[in-house]
Amino acid sequence: MTSSPRSLPLRPGARPGHVYLVGAGPGDPELLTLRALRLMEAADVAVYDNLIGPQILDLVAPSAQRIYVGKKRADHSVPQPEIGELLVSLAQTGLCVVRLKGGDPYIFGRGGEEAESLAAAGVPFEVVPGITAAAGVGAYSGIPLTHRAFAQSVVFTSAYLKDGALDLDWPALTRGGQTVVFYMGLSRLETLCEDLIRHGLPASTPAAVVRHGTLPDQQVVSGDLATLAAAVRAAGLQPPALVVVGDVVSLQSRFGWFQGGASL
């Protein structure tokens, strides 16, 4: 990193016995906040999961202990309550704990559950916001999530299954004039597109899947609700990926600027 000739008016740094729930952004290390970077450089221990790539982990203090608590969809390596207990016990031994989370800690990151554990145990904590995947994907793939001509609002939702079916607020998601971003939706993309059509969105509504947004291997597959699932299957995309639905996706082919590996 080049040093800046100006000094920033920074707040006090990392404190022992505290837990910092830090949003590490969607992947590109350049999208970390200054606060995130300073805390990572000062941490005694970093607790992280599979959304945290090696380039970001490399920015944690070399002396810090690194603890992986990652989860994959079918493979819950450390149950969420145990992560909460781990954070509490590390802080109670007087360590400065940085809990690195992909994107923003409070957007589908279960940061609320970790904050709950810390609050219940009386452990002091701070939350550092990060660039959520939707914002990163929008910028790097060329999809303005809102646009005066196409979408006056944007909805972030998850595509959880309940009893084997998508249990979503369909009237809200199929309203016109908005963009809908689905987190964790790739593995049930076909059902998702079919359900959106069944609940009233035109089959010709533009839609895209973006995998590894902001990373050198970012992949974008776009089409419409009728064609997207087959195109994504043909391209063999795997999570983590976002599904973006709405007329703004029609701008993607002209607004996409990120050349992946070339700029990192």
Q: Which two three-digit tokens encode residue 62?
A: 């070399």
Closer CB to ligand SAH, 223 or 240, in the complex:
240
One-letter amino acid of 119: A
> Is 49 in the active site?
yes
> What is the closest distance, in whole angstroms, from the C-beta atom of residue 143 to ligand SAH in the complex?
12
If you ran DSSP here, which 8-state letter would residue 152 be given?
S
Closer CB to ligand SAH, 95 or 137, in the complex:
137
> Burial, 145: exposed, middle or buried (Cβ in 10 Å; 0-12, 13-18, 19+)?
buried
User: The dihedral of CA 223, 228, 231, 235: what is its sign?
Assistant: positive
Rounded CA separation 13/42 (Å): 8
Closer CB to ligand SAH, 18 or 99, in the complex:
99
Residues in contact with ligand SAH by CB under 6 A are 26-27, 51, 101-104, 107-109, 132-133, 137, 183-184, 210-215, 239-242
Contact 91, 19 (CB under 8 A): yes
Closer CB to ligand SAH, 103 or 206, in the complex:
103
> What is the closest distance, in whole angstroms, from the C-beta atom of residue 94 to ligand SAH in the complex?
28
Q: Which of 28, 44, 58, 71 is flagged as catalytic?
A: 71
Closer CB to ligand SAH, 95 or 210, in the complex:
210
User: The dihedral of CA 144, 150, 156, 160: what is its sign?
Assistant: negative
Residue whose CB is nearest to ligand SAH in the complex, by number: 103
Q: Give the number of other Cβ atoms within 10 Å of residue 168's Cβ.
A: 21
> What is the closest distance, in whole angstroms, from the C-beta atom of residue 11 to ligand SAH in the complex?
23
Q: Taking every pair of C-alpha atoms in the chain, what is the biggest distance, in angstroms?
A: 58
Q: Which two three-digit tokens encode residue 45?
A: 């221990």
> What is the closest distance, in whole angstroms, from the C-beta atom of residue 103 to ligand SAH in the complex?
2
CA angle at residue 73 from 68 to 78, to 5 degrees? 35
Close Cβ partners of 127 (under 8 Å, ≥ 6 residues apart)? 20, 21, 23, 105, 106, 111, 115
Helix or strand or coil: residue 57?
A: helix
> What is the closest distance, in whole angstroms, from the C-beta atom of residue 122 to ligand SAH in the complex?
25
> Is 162 in the active site?
no
Q: Which of 28, 44, 49, 195 is flagged as catalytic?
A: 49
- Name the residues annotated as catalytic: 49, 71
